[in-house]
Amino acid sequence: MSSTAQSPSGRTASGTTRLVWIIGVLAALVLAGFVSHYASASPDGLEKVAAEHGIDEKAEAHAAEDSPLADYQVRDVDSPRLSGGLAGVVGVGATLAAGTGVFWLVRRRASGGPDGSGDGSGDGSGDGGDAR
């Protein structure tokens, strides 16, 4: 009896999972694209301690400092609000894509038994190589 009662609402469960996902992505986009403009610009804990205690004496310029997105600003976009917001949105999109890609490859296949997991571990070590 319970399974017949659950059957139609099974769609509801996956539906709310999708809803949670959509709300989460929207929240991330709003936070990175809009709220980030109001974040504190002060040095963070490590930067502050490093400056006060001379840890940063031999700090080097970042190898990617010429990246068009360096320091969370899109190059050639003049408005700091727009530039930072765009960089945040790009970052959320890139992280979502990279993360989902890795997790989708690593995941336990629904149809797979022991065979599936053997298959997957090959994929897994491949990802490790990419990630490095």
Partner 1 sequence: MHVPDGFIDTPVSVAAGAVAAGAVAASLRGARRELDDRTAPLAGLVAAFVFAVQMLNFPVAAGTSGHLLGGALAAILVGPWTGVLCISVVLLMQAVLFADGGLTALGVNITLMGVVGVTVAYAVFRGLVRLLPRARGSVTAASFLAAFVSVPAAAVAFTGIYALGGTADVSLGKVLTAMVGVHTLIGVGEGVITALTVGAVIAVRPDLVYGARGLTQPLRLSAAAAAAPARPGGNGNPGAPGTTGASGTTGTTGITGAAGTPGTGARSSKETNA
3 state SS of 74: coil
CB atoms within 10 A of CB 84: 21
Contact of 50 with 56, CB cutoff 8 Å: yes
Position 78 contacts partner 1 (CB under 8 A): no
User: Are the CB atoms for 70 and 64 separated by under 8 Å?
Assistant: yes
- 3-state SS assignment for residue 6: helix
Among residues 42, 40, 29, the alpha carbon closest in space to that of 86 is found at 29
Among 83, 110, 114, 122, binds partner 1 (CB under 8 A): 110
**Site membership for partner 1, residue 79 (CB under 8 A):** no
Greatest Cα pair distance, the chain, in angstroms, is 71
Work out how close the CB of 80 gets to partner 1 at its nearest, in angstroms, rounded to a whole number.
Answer: 14
CB of 78 to partner 1, least distance (A): 19
Q: Which is nearer to partner 1, 78 or 129 (CB)?
A: 129
User: Taking CB under 8 A as the rule, which mask of x and - marks residues 80-99 in contact with partner 1?
Assistant: -------xx-xxxxxxxxxx
Tell me, by CB under 8 A, how many residues bind partner 1.
87
Q: Of 42 and 78, which has the nearer Cβ to partner 1?
A: 42
Q: Note whether 27 binds partner 1 by CB under 8 A.
A: yes
